[in-house]
Structure 1
């Protein structure tokens, strides 16, 4: 029962997530399908009516003037029908926008129309971009975060402007519709004397043509929505379903429980002492990490107070920064605080990494962590900036095609990127983003312009999120991409997904010159960390070392040095 309940909840959540992310395409497809059934029935009836007429009356022929009059009448009537279809489509677009206006947390709204005006198309693209940025923010922030709320206000403003334009478009089409109806009325009055059979034949033929053209158009639209529906967005995957255990687990054992309860009281002091020792992360503990993993600790990245970071940013950029720019810069210490403890930590990491790679030529490195939220992406970006400040050309590749973060940390567009290159729809040099892209992004022109070394930094973002990224990293195309990048840059740094949840990092490891593990002590246990290292070694990946991230530091005036006394989780 428990397994069925857990699987039902997981399946329900997954289906709801898929439905919410693809609701707009489904609504549009349903609208076209309903219209398709109606028009198909109308076409069948009109064809049947024309067939019956010809069986009874035969073909009716008119003189040139009458034929031309009927053709003009048919053309106006067809234009009137087409205009009515466009009005219905525009009304449906307007309904979708207004319905979504009260639901700021729903899926991004896209208005699909071949007849949309240039301004509406531009606003629609802006709406898509804003919703993409919002989805990227929600990876790290809650919906009530000021950055998300500010973006919601921009989205609402664009929607309201689109609604205004669509309503204006509907009024224009209504005026055109009335003008066509007046012209049709004049034709009817002028050619009322035409033979009744000829008028009826022309009317039937016109109805068949109109319904046939409309049916073909709707059929094409339906195929387009079927293709969009096949490209469904899935953000939730069930890694392993719940199963019923074959035998009872943790069955009650009264005698054993009583004995253990007695022993706990006696051993409580020893347990407390052991806990204190476990949380004492002095130099001995760092050496313990090296002994446990059998790899060197390349660097220790300290944690600093958020208020101190804001003060340091304001010293460099006295002008008022918005909350979004402040949030982005607070994670990029080497850009604004070259003498701070965080920047020193990354410089120390850079030097130790160079020494660790003396025995072999290293042109590419992947960075991975055992679990989520261990500071891997932050480490990759800041280390890349630090190396670029030495004059070396560095390329950062966001290979996390499940929850990418490089683009949001640097304020860049996510698409096009790595996935487009691996699919074959783009060349890798065409998706590389450099200093000009950073200047035009959310970091700000002045902030990037004043930062040293940014002109040596290049980025390939993740691109669109494919359904099965592992297939990309197990392909020859990915190997060729890494080789091409190594020829054009001094160092290629690949940001990988966590090792334990998915296999992507293990597949990438053997294809680069080395792997750097990022570990936040206390975030996960020692056993999962060792398991992650074992998986990389089994894949024949070369592990260069480990970086300890987000370590709280305290300045000691007695020894004039930093003493790391504990690890904090974030």
Structure 2
């Protein structure tokens, strides 16, 4: 302890073998005035997520809770499925009379099954389902058993929005709609005019029910939304699934869609056949009229044959020959088409021959022949069935009986088609020969026959031609009538829907997982947004950018109870009266192996071994605002310097809110106030602490005009006296923005250490405080980032190392 005379401090002798260490402050690098790179490193993102972990947890809980609530409130859904098969039943029933499928140039790229699926999804089919099941009448509350309803009929004129209330008695059911009340026994219809309902029995546990009439379009869209269609792979089977909140309704919906699909397909085919019949009948009427006119002309000619001149006979004969030439050219072109088709069929089933035959079959000359077109359509169908069996994942070998049967049918129909084509070619050749003969005879008759005979021959041929056309049209009419009479479409119902029984899984796991992901994304996004909007310091870069000074230390959480390794030091921390001192925040002494204690030692090392700057004997510790941990930093930093062997004096210059004496477990008075006022000698105010070579000058009593007292000449003389005796004088001052004391003392100190608290100190406050200190000439040697709430992170990974070391020390001592 130094010796004093009056109020003057006399230094104690220093051994020459131990030179006094020299501390050097760290200058402010120029780089802290430059711009900081844009963006946030990945570790800062992680730190931001940790700071707002509560928000992420809340977002996840809210998201999953909402989804769970919706799942619990969701009405159970049932699904039933029926199966249909697409066939050409009309062709099978009518044989070769039924016309084959007519395809144009674009028809080769159309999938017939997908076309039928689109028909199944049409509003026309859904409208039939709505009318057959009475889906326009919907219960206002879900859960009404559909099994109790036998039939529902809603007239097209029923206005939407009307409600029908039912009361179920033991022997009857009562209904009321628009003031009209009716009653009927179970099994009997309740006719309310626009609505007629028949209940098969009394629903269990439902005394009353209310139904509402909805718009027809809304009912159609609802039915389409509840229906799903899928094609069974590599087949012509279609599965129709219907989803509803009642198992009976799901079954009825799937069966109703299958039946409506079959009926619509049948009516569509019949409509096409009817239009064809009507067209043929119209052509037949016109041709009959032309035939009557030609017959009348022939009769009149025969009566007045003498009225013709030789010139007229010659002209008529020449016109007949010209017509025969044109007819012969048409027949020859048609014969060439059939010859090419026959050669293509004879060349085999190669790709080029198949495409050639398909192109010829699409020509008007071939498609007009119903027999050949029917044979070709049958051949295409068998070839398509064979391709379905021999290709794909479940393809079958050529030795398969089904494949061999299809090969046999393909060969048979190919032969039949080839013979039909050859027969047609032979018939055309015969007609050409006949025309050649007739033309030869006509050419000879020009000079041989009288003019009257030539005219009569022309008229006779015209009558014969028209008569033949009439016969063909009558045959076409008969075929169209037979085709129209066939009561079958392209849809065959294979399986009707069964009772679904089990409830459809609403995808609870999938939805909860999705809710978890959404909650994580929303929480993480909100955390990052809040972190960006937060103006408080949370990163080292924030401090260095705002204050243009380096962060020399990051102090983690302090104030935790000392570990077992420091139990042996408790006796040293006891006061003279046997009571423990109030030194919970003095971790540099209490828990020397903690992460906080090591952080203060790193701070001490940084200040001691800096290679640049001016010599430093007085160090001022302050902060921009209150409650940022400057007093704790002052006390622990001074203790670490003393533990290094330096003679340290720590002064509590925060006279308004003095706390340093409590950290060391000393009384507040007498202290700095009494020394500056000359009331107490310095040797009485200076008190030794329980840390060797560390003396404390407490604040003393609170007096008015604190700034004037600290800014007076007495404080300057005191600082010079103490810096001459001690290796380091550490001064704890009030916050910069709270009072002018820090600025006054900062101008008198060698260096200044600023303490900021992560998550609390505002960026602009820290920047303003640094600017004020630099304005009075204070040298800021560094920034201590106090992080008691782990706003920055990165300390806990070192705590394991120190804890393990402490446990090993305790084990060795035991």
Whether TM exceeds 0.5 here: the answer is no
Bigger CA radius of gyration: 2
Could you say which structure has the higher strand fraction?
Answer: 2
TM-score (norm 1): 0.44
TM-score (norm 2): 0.31
More relative contact order in 1 or in 2 (CA 8 Å, sep 6+)? 2
